[in-house]
Amino acid sequence: MAMQGVCFRGVGEVAWQEVAEPRLERPTDAIVAVEMAGLCGSDLHPYFGRETGLDPGTVMGHEFVGRVLEAGSGVTSVRPGDRVYAPFSTSCGTCATCRTGLTSRCEHGQLFGWISGGVGLHGGQAERVRVPLAEGTLKAVSAGLSSEAALLLGDNLGTAWYCAELAELRPDSVVVVIGCGSVGLLGIMAAQAEGVTRIVAVDPVPERRARAEALGVVACAPGPDVARLVASLGGARGADSVMEFVGLSAAQRLAWEVLRPGGVMAVIGCHSAPFAFSPSEAYDKNLTYRTGRCPARRQMERLTERVMRDLPHVAQVITHRFAPQDCVRAYDVFAHQRDGCVKAVFEF
């Protein structure tokens, strides 16, 4: 049997094509019929060729919401018919790493949408997806939680909040947010939810800066204006914290330049480029550099009720919706930020 999925074909090329129907392979598996799947900036690393090794034919995507079709005998937390959402990687919930809360580094976990050399896991931009370790991975969608918010909780929103945690924010901090895509905008919301009021948002795209300004922060393009704005907000020596959501060398260098001595740099962008500053430069600023993959499954547990109660507007970062059959145009629009695109989803 076969189904359809958005598959990687090569650099700059995806296709809606036939792929093998997923099946239960272990008692801990579940099969989910996808209702909504997200496009993420991380999907663009292989799409642009910045990250290599992804097998052609791999189903893309690691953000999805859907309904359980089948569940193995070892799955008790969800049942066929349940609407569920998932983090971008599977997690058992019981290994030593999971027990510390670092679910993204589960000893048995896999990333959705990454198969290399025939080994790995298809992603969620397909009609159906197999979810290994379903007991520790899937979470039932609460009554009142929208599909859009659930999708964001599984990756972008949890990642944004994790970056805010890494940045050691205080209400009196002067904070620079570099990158105003969906995760950066959600990072602004997370910082504001923690009481931060002095925020400079940086992005080269005017439409994205306008979205940041609509959230009540000052925004500018990369360049000398960043330091000037930081100083105008009271950061004469530089920013107390920088939240870097881009993952490219120029963004990392800018983060170093605007950070005050003793400040904190939180880098959550998935880096595919060389380091932009040396260890001696980090030493000379006494900076704290914090990074790592967000423990998204833990964040789903921690943030779902808060999002439902306090942040109903998070779904505003979703600007474009596509049918999966229109994946070629969807990836082009999303990858090149056409038509003011910030966050795109596929609706099945």
pLDDT tens figures, 146-156: 999 999 999 99
CA nearest to 187, candidates 294, 39, 28: 294
Contact 29, 75 (CB under 8 A): yes
> Where in the chain is CATH 3.40.50.720?
157-291
The H or E element that residue 192 is part of is helix 182-193
Look up residue 151 and give its two tokens. 């999708």
What are the tens digits of pLDDT across the range 79-125? 999 999 999 999 999 999 999 999 999 999 999 999 999 999 999 99
Q: What is the pLDDT of residues 300-321, one digit of tens each?
A: 999 999 999 888 789 999 999 9
Of the candidates 314, 321, 299, the one whose C-alpha atom is nearest the C-alpha of residue 145 is 314
- Whether residue 136 has pLDDT greater than 80: yes
Instruction: Please indicate whether residue 273 or residue 2 has the higher confidence score (pLDDT).
Output: 2
Spatial distance between the Cα atoms of 147 and 116, rounded to a whole number of angstroms: 30
Query: Which residues, including other chains, have CB under 8 Å from residue 115's CB and lie 6 or more apart?
Result: 54, 55, 57, 58, 121, 122
What is the tens place of the pLDDT at every residue in 7-65?
999 999 999 999 999 999 999 999 999 999 999 999 999 999 989 999 999 999 999 99
Q: Which residues contact 282 (CB under 8 A, 6 or more apart)?
A: 256, 289
Residue intervals in the chain for CATH 3.90.180.10: 2-155+295-347
pLDDT for residue 216 is more than 90: yes
Single pTM value for the model: 0.94
d(CA 278, CA 273): 14
| Tokens 């994946």 sit on residue | 327
Q: According to the model, what pLDDT value does residue 273 have? A: 74
Percent of the chain residues past pLDDT 90, beyond the cut: 95
Which CATH number applies to 157-291? 3.40.50.720
Q: What angle do CA 125, 346, 184 make, to 5 degrees?
A: 95
Q: 2-155+295-347 maps to which CATH number?
A: 3.90.180.10
Secondary structure class of 233 (helix, strand, coil): coil
Determine contact, residues 245/191, Cβ cutoff 8 Å: no
* All residues at 6 or more sequence positions from 228 whose CB lies less than 8 Å from its CB, including other chains: none
pLDDT reading at 270 higher than 90: no
